[in-house]
Every structure is written in structure tokens, then in C-alpha cells.
Amino acid sequence: MGVDIGGSGIKGAPVDLGKGLLDQDRVRLPTPDGAPPQPVADVVAEVVGSFDTGGPVGCTFPAVIVGGVARTAANVDPSWIGTDVQALFSRTTGRDVVVINDADAAGLAEMRYGAGKDRDGVVVMLTLGTGIGSALFVDGRLVPNTEFGHLEIRGKSAEHRASDRVREERNLGWQDWAERLNEVLGRIEALVSPDLFILGGGVSKKSGHFIELLSTQAEVTPAALLNNAGIVGAALAVSEGHSQA
């Protein structure tokens, strides 16, 4: 089973890892205001308990995760820093839990089943939602816990200029938002020269509005699994032991 924690919602479902698809309709519940640890853990337990399943649970988390412990807390309560997220979720759900960075989970799913399948070279997955998450792959191998969403651009972190939340809050048109996103992609290209960008997150289902407005040296494509990539990747992380140590 996979659970994906986002800034506005916590969603989960059993996953068919043979196909990379949700095995049942997902359950989505609101993320508690401010996203403090125990209330988030309680919602995770409620999502997990919505399904008649057993076994371990994979769970994404929007932070740098090392050995199950959160090292950052950009879009959640600062008290997460230093929290053993894996232990907290295991205790609250009563299940074995593996925790992985949310964008890394989405990237794992896209590289196995989606837009990055069978792609070698350097691939960067960006999740465009409340913030901007990133996952970096070199010849199919994950380089965990990249934080390209926090690159400084024009005096602000990239996610404070070009996340989907910024687009909505500032009522940006697609052209204006694409110009901001182009700056982010250009900065990443200067650092790692990717062969492919995969753009995921909630806005990926609207890719027809903005993909053609982007100008990069690398190929750019929307995520194939759309906003279910995190759930699928979390379940895959459990199956393949991608606990980030």
C-alpha cells in the first residue's frame, strides 16, 4: 500500500505493482492545518485503515528523509525536523512503514512505469504542487533527497516563484507562469544538464496548457501517472527497500 502526503491532502490506496496502477479507488483526506506531526500521523492511520489490507506501508513525506528521520520542513510544521517519521507512522498505524521523500517516490514510479521507463542518462522529475519537489536519476538510479525547489531565483526559492500554488494564488496566466518555470528549468540545466525533465504533481493533468510554452535544451514531458505517482512510488519503495539511509 502507498500513502502520499501533500500540502493540501493525504491520499492512499493499495497498488498493483505488476501494472503500476492503483488496485482500488484512492482515499483522500485533508492535510491538517499547519501539518504538525501527530495530527498528520492520525490522518495517515485513517487512510491506511480505510482499506482491508495487511503488510507494510510505503509513505511519502515532503522533506529530506535520512534513515526515516526528517531533516527539513519547508512546507510542514518546523517540529518535524529531527522527528523519526518512520517510527511515528509505524506506531500510529500499527504497521511497518517505509518513508521516502515525496518527489523521489513519484520519480521511482515514473522511471519504472511511466515517462522515464527505459530511459538512461540524467532524468529530473519535478513535482509542481504546493511547493516544487525534485528527484534526480542517473542511468535509472535514484540520487536521493535533491531539493531543486529551493534553488534561489531572483531572491526567492524556486518554489516560491513557480509552484502550482503560486500560479493559483497570484492568478497567473499560463504564459506568465511558464516564463517563471522556464527560469527554474534553466537553472537546473546549468547544474546537472539533464536529458529529460518529467513534470508531475497536480498540475500535470493540465500540461496541454503549458508544455509547449517551455523552452529547454532537454526534452520535457508530463508525468504519465499524473498525481498518482507518489502513491505508486511509495508502494514501490516498500517492495524494493528504498528506505533513504
Cell of 121: 542518462
Are 233 and 159 within one domain? Answer: no
Residue 155 is part of which domain span? 115-223
CATH code of the domain in which 91 resides: 3.30.420.40
CA-wise closest residue to 53 among 74, 22, 86, 28? 22
Domain count, the chain: 2
User: Which of the 8 DSSP states describes residue 64?
Assistant: -
Are 48 and 28 within one domain? Answer: yes
Q: What percentage of the chain carries pLDDT values higher than 90?
A: 89
Who has greater pLDDT, 245 or 35?
35
Residue 245 lies in a domain: no
pLDDT single digits (tens) 30-79: 999 999 999 999 999 999 999 999 999 999 999 999 999 999 998 889 99
Angle at which helices 102-113 and 229-240 pack, to 10 degrees?
90
β-pairing, 122-128 vs 57-61, is unpaired
Are 54 and 147 within one domain? Answer: no
Are 217 and 122 within one domain? Answer: yes
Are 131 and 83 within one domain? Answer: no
